[in-house]
Amino acid sequence: MLEQDYFMRMISQLAAVLSEVLFHKKAQQLEEARGGIRTGVKSLLGFDLDLLHSFSDAQILELLNSSGELDAAKCYAAAMLLKEEAAIDALENKKAESVNTTAKALSMMLELLLSDIAPLPATLGSEADALIETILPYELPLHVEEKVFRYYELTRRYGKAEDILFELVERSRQFGKEGVKFYERLLQKPDGELRAGNLPRGEAEESAAELHKIIGS
């Protein structure tokens, strides 16, 4: 109960911060919007926005995991604040900064979704999906793209997971073994689930054979 109260309190505080940020962003007051993000990071997370800029997503997650368990509320707050900053970067035509910050935010959202931590906001999945669609045209860091693959499998979007898998294998053959395991898992599932996931059994079998050829196994 105490954990849930803490989470809901953090979400309420985050909502107030984001409301102010979005108000300024809509009014094209981008410096004021950035100021709201900086204040929100300090008040909600307890450290400076510059730290989020200088740290990688893995380092931020480690910072939020100092007690041995990921602080889901702070992780979500960090992800949402970074998402808004990435949007401001995009409005200012700072493409490289926007892509980098979006990737950090997405990584943190996916970490929460893949960790199956409760409670989580009901909108988190749709927020992650929107970020994926925004950033997929660009080359993601390898470990973030791997999270996207795992997330698509978790949410039974097997066709999309397969697309990401072959991109991963093209970038690094080390993912070939994970791909073999992926198809082994899929081929144990009912035909109806595979069709619903946009990867019918016949196509999955053909792709598995193709993967074996690529990795030489």
For residue 47, the 8-state DSSP code is S
Per-residue pLDDT, 119? 75
What proportion of the chain, given as a percentage, has pLDDT over 70? 97
pLDDT band of 213, cuts 50, 70, 90: very high
Per-residue pLDDT, 43? 95
| Whether 71 contacts 65, CB under 8 Å | yes
pLDDT band of 116, cuts 50, 70, 90: confident
Give the number of domains in the chain. Answer: 2
CB-based contacts of 44, cutoff 8 Å, min separation 6: 10, 13, 14, 17, 74, 77, 81
What proportion of the chain, given as a percentage, has pLDDT over 90? 83
Residues 3 and 42 in one domain: yes
Per-residue pLDDT, 217? 63
Residues 166 and 200 in one domain: yes
127 inside domain: no
Residues 166 and 114 in one domain: no
pTM of the model: 0.93
pLDDT band of 121, cuts 50, 70, 90: confident
72 inside domain: yes
Residues 178 and 115 in one domain: no
216 inside domain: yes
Across 20-32, b (16+ Cβ under 10 Å) vs e yields bbeebbeeeeeee
From the list 75, 73, 49, 79, the residue with the least C-alpha distance to 61 is: 75
197 inside domain: yes
Give the separation between CA 116 and CA 69, rounded to whole angstroms. Answer: 12
Name the one residue in this structure whose structure tokens are 């097997």: 158
Residues 101 and 194 in one domain: no
For the chain, the average pLDDT equals 93
Residues 16 and 95 in one domain: yes
Residues 16 and 110 in one domain: yes
pLDDT band of 1, cuts 50, 70, 90: low
Domain extent for 214: 139-217
pLDDT digit string, tens, across residues 123-164: 999 999 999 999 988 999 999 999 999 999 999 999 999 999
Residues 117 and 176 in one domain: no
pLDDT band of 120, cuts 50, 70, 90: confident
From the list 92, 84, 77, 12, the residue with the least C-alpha distance to 47 is: 77
pLDDT digit string, tens, across residues 65-92: 867 788 999 999 999 999 999 999 999 9
91 inside domain: yes
Residues 144 and 117 in one domain: no
Q: What mean pLDDT is predicted for residues 189-196?
A: 97
What's the burial of 123, exposed, middle or buried (CB within 10 Å: 0-12/13-18/19+)?
exposed
pLDDT band of 8, cuts 50, 70, 90: confident
Does the pLDDT of residue 4 top 80, yes or no?
no
